Amino acid sequence: MGGITLLRGLRSEDRFTWRVGLAWLSWGISLALAIGTIVDTRRASMGKLIDTDSPIAPKAQKLFKRRLERS
């Protein structure tokens, strides 16, 4: 379920069930992970340290080199 679908569901008169709650929780976690990846990518391209558990960690040096080449 996308965020827009969840927002439309709030306008309807359907009850708030545990499934809707789980959908909101899932959407929130996905949004937080997406924002975290964007932040890690930006920090890596600026040459700052990022956590080793980040999916961007193996590419950090490559991102920084690419940024230096563009400058």
Chunk the chain into consecutive blocks of 10 residues (it has 71) and report each block's average pLDDT, rounded to whole numbers.
80 85 93 92 86 84 84 72
**CA gyration radius for the chain?**
18
What is the C-alpha to C-alpha distance for residues 32 and 36, in angstroms, rounded to an integer?
A: 6
Number of domains within the chain: 1
Q: Residue 9: its pLDDT value, please?
A: 83
**pLDDT at residue 1, as a whole number:** 56
Q: Which domain holds residue 29?
A: 3-70
Q: Tell me, what's the pLDDT at 31?
A: 93
